[in-house]
């Protein structure tokens, strides 16, 4: 049960964000862009301090036994801090969704009706070991006219504190309240629990993290939740695939960054090309440190290797977020679609094929937020898809699905304009 002092403190943070949000919602695009430019400059000017704070988190993470995947997500270096600044500037260049007219018409009785985008209000974020999300979430919210209340977890406490301070400085410099972006990290898990209870103060809550975190928030929250999903992502390599391209895509999707939700976790290969593809990509995956959890045909093709183990039912269900990959041979695209339908988390699925009939069968048969055709699963990302940064990858089917950019952080108002109209 949440301590009453903590409950009061967290609700005060949320109330202050709510009280401040009107200024931001009514601000001009140029003011919000100026805030973002100052955030980007602050990140660049304070890179050394950010990296030093992050080093404390990494040291604690190693001592606490964080996995390599989580440590990778946690880590910030010069290039990653520069990447954060670049992502913020990308947002500056994107169209402002606030005030955009979605649709409009004049009714037969002369009423003029339009649907116009407005900010959601106050957005809560609960995430873990991802300091980049602190910047992405706050800046997306600010650009779309929303206040943000963040719970970034103890694993990234020092990093998040440094980043939030930079964002608050930028707000203050441009005439906004520091309360528009706030953290409840100091109240730990109890703070997260109270954030989930802040209905009426938080308009939408977005969880981002592992399956356990997301499930607990969806089940326990009293605040409306926009569900981001676990990424048990698949690649199906068809008999018609360009096998050299398949080699490169599989290597990229598995090894470029293993601790991210759009990394591939299961490789499905048409039985007719399994031996040939695995003779090529298998040694390179093993050399990169990947353990292959393979079915019988795949193990036969890979040979007796230390890091080739028999796949179990659990492997087909697992989002590893590590140097592990499940490998299964299948009869055809229909078998691949059936496997994905059973085990997919609805995040990103990929098909590698030159046969257009296979591609169509896959695209029509798979239910996912994103489907890649002859491309890596790693492209399901707001920056890669032209959205700037992203709040997360939504796997639900309501107003937000796939990478959540600026428009997904708005709702709409119906504006009904008349000339003294009354309903008969």
> Does residue 99 lie in a domain region?
yes
259-291 burial code (b ≥16 CB/10 A, e <16): bbbbbbbbbbbbeebbbebbeebbeebbeeebb
Long-range CB contacts for residues 108-113, cutoff 8 Å, separation at least 24: 109/421, 110/418, 110/419, 110/421, 111/416, 111/417, 111/418, 111/421, 112/416, 112/417, 112/418, 113/414, 113/415, 113/416, 113/417
In a domain, 178, yes or no: yes
Same domain, residue pair 343 and 202: no
Phi, psi for residue 293 in degrees, rounded to 5: -100, 95
Please tell me whether residues 35 and 103 are part of one structural domain: yes
209 assigned to some structural domain: yes
Do 395 and 365 have their domain in common?
Answer: no
203 is a domain residue = yes
Domain total for the chain?
2
Q: In what order do the strands lie in the sheet with 181-183?
A: 181-183, 147-151, 122-127, 204-208
* 245 and 224 in a common domain: no
Contact 118, 412 (CB under 8 A): yes
For residues 16 and 154, membership in a common domain is answered with yes
Residue 385 covered by a domain: no
- Tens of pLDDT, residues 43-81: 999 999 999 999 999 999 999 999 887 898 899 999 999
User: Using an 8 Å Cβ cutoff, are 196 and 207 in contact?
Assistant: no
Distance from C-alpha of 423 to C-alpha of 28, rounded to nearest angstrom:
36
User: Radius of gyration of the chain from Cα atoms?
Assistant: 23
Q: Mean pLDDT throughout 311-321?
A: 95
Which range, of 28-42, 177-191, 384-398, averages the lowest pLDDT?
Answer: 384-398
Grouping H, G, I as helix, E, B as strand and the rest as coil, residue 113 is strand
Q: Is the pLDDT of residue 188 over 70?
A: yes
- Cα–Cα distances in angstroms (integers) from residue 211 to residues 35, 317, 319, in the given order: 34, 12, 9
Going along 260-299, which residue ranges are E strands? Answer: 264-270, 291-294
pLDDT reported for residue 1:
43
- Mean pLDDT for 232-245 is 98
Q: Are residues 188 and 98 in the same domain?
A: yes
Q: And the tokens for 368?
A: 């996912």
Q: Global pTM?
A: 0.81
pLDDT for the residue 203: 96
CA–CA–CA angle 98, 400, 207 (5° rounding): 105
What's the CATH number where 400 sits?
3.40.605.10
Distance between CA atoms of residues 362 and 357, nearest Å: 9
Mean pLDDT of 269-290: 97
Tell me, what's the pLDDT at 3? 65
3-state secondary structure of 327: strand
Mean pLDDT across the chain:
94
Same domain membership, residue 66 and residue 162: yes
Average pLDDT of the segment spanning 170-194: 96
Separation between Cα atoms, residue 392 and residue 404, nearest integer Å = 6
Q: Do 55 and 150 reside in the same domain of the chain?
A: yes
Structure tokens at 120: 């959601």
- Chain mean position to CA 232: 14
> Quick one: what percent of the chain has pLDDT higher than 70?
99
The distance from CA 387 to its chain's CA centroid, rounded to whole angstroms, is 12
Residues 6+ apart with CB under 8 A from 364: none
- What is the extent of the structural domain holding 297? 233-379
What is the rounded distance in angstroms from the CA atom of residue 251 to the CA atom of residue 282? Answer: 10
The answer on 267 and 136 residing in a single domain is: no
**Shared-domain flag, residues 112 and 170:** yes
Tokens, residue 388: 């700037």
Residue 424 lies inside a defined structural domain of this protein: no
Q: Note whether 29 and 88 are same-domain residues.
A: yes
Note whether residue 386 is domain-resident.
no
CATH number at residue 320: 3.40.309.10
Are 94 and 154 in the same domain? yes
Residue 157 lies in a domain: yes
């Amino acid at each position: 049960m949440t301590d009453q002092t903590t409950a009061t403190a967290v609700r005060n943070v949320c109330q202050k964000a709510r009280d401040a949000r009107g200024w931001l919602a009514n601000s001009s695009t140029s003011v919000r862009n100026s805030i973002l430019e100052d955030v980007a400059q602050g990140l660049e000017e304070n890179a050394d301090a950010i990296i030093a704070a992050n080093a404390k988190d990494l040291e604690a993470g190693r001592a606490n036994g964080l996995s390599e995947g989580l440590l990778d997500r946690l880590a910030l270096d010069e290039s990653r801090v520069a990447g954060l600044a670049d992502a913020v500037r990308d947002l500056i260049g994107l169209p402002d969704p606030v005030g955009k007219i979605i649709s409009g018409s004049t009714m037969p009785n002369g009423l003029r009706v339009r649907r116009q985008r407005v900010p959601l209000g106050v957005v809560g974020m609960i995430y873990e070991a991802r300091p980049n999300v602190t910047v992405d979430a706050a800046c997306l919210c600010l650009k779309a006219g929303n206040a943000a209340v963040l719970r970034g977890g103890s694993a990234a406490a020092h990093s998040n504190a440094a980043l939030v301070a930079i964002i608050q400085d930028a707000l203050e410099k441009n005439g906004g309240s520091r309360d528009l972006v706030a953290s409840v990290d100091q109240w730990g898990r109890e703070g997260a629990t109270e954030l989930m209870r802040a209905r009426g103060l938080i308009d939408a809550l977005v969880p981002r993290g592992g399956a356990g975190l997301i499930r607990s928030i969806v089940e326990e929250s009293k605040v409306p939740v926009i569900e981001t999903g676990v990424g048990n992502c698949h690649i199906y390599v068809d008999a018609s695939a360009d096998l050299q391209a398949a080699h490169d895509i599989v290597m990229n999707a598995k090894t470029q960054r293993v601790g991210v939700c759009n990394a591939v976790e299961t490789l499905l290969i048409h039985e007719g090309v399994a031996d040939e593809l695995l003779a090529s990509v298998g040694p390179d995956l093993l050399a990169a440190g990947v353990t292959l959890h393979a079915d019988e045909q795949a193990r036969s093709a890979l040979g007796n290797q230390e890091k080739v183990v028999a796949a179990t039912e659990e492997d087909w269900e697992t989002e590893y977020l590590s140097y592990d990959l499940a490998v299964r041979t299948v009869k055809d695209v229909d078998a691949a679609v059936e496997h994905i339908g059973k085990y997919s988390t609805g995040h990103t699925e990929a098909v590698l094929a030159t046969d257009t009939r296979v591609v169509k069968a896959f695209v029509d048969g798979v239910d996912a937020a994103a489907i890649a055709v002859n491309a890596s699963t790693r492209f399901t990302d707001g920056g890669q898809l032209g959205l700037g940064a992203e709040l997360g990858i939504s796997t639900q089917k309501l107003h937000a699905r796939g990478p959540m950019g600026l428009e997904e952080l708005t709702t709409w108002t119906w504006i009904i304009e008349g000339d003294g109209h009354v309903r008969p």
